[in-house]
């Protein structure tokens, strides 16, 4: 298993949790209007994150 370890230290827990959070935030920013406003190009995924996570 990928997450099977013998010792769950605080450092390992912090790094694993941080990686998951950073991955989510990166993809949320990538598929939001923020990137489109920065680069001002025809960006295909504008608004996808808001549409998926909205009501």
pLDDT tens, position by position, 23-36: 988 887 777 777 76
Q: Residue 29 has what pLDDT?
A: 77
Categorise residue 54: left if φ over 0, alpha if ψ from -120 to 50, beta otherwise: beta
Q: At residue 51, does pLDDT exceed 90? A: no
Q: Residue 19 has what pLDDT?
A: 94
CB 35, CB 29: distance < 8 Å: yes
* 31-47 mean pLDDT: 68
Q: Residue 2 has what pLDDT?
A: 64
The whole model's pTM is what? 0.55
Q: How many CB atoms lie within 10 A of CB 55?
A: 2
DSSP state of 6: S
């Amino acid at each position: 298993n990928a997450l099977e370890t013998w010792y769950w230290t605080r450092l390992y827990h912090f790094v694993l949790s941080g990686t998951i959070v950073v991955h989510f935030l990166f993809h949320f920013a990538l598929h939001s209007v923020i990137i489109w406003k920065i680069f001002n190009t025809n960006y295909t995924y504008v608004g996808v994150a808001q549409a998926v996570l909205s009501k």
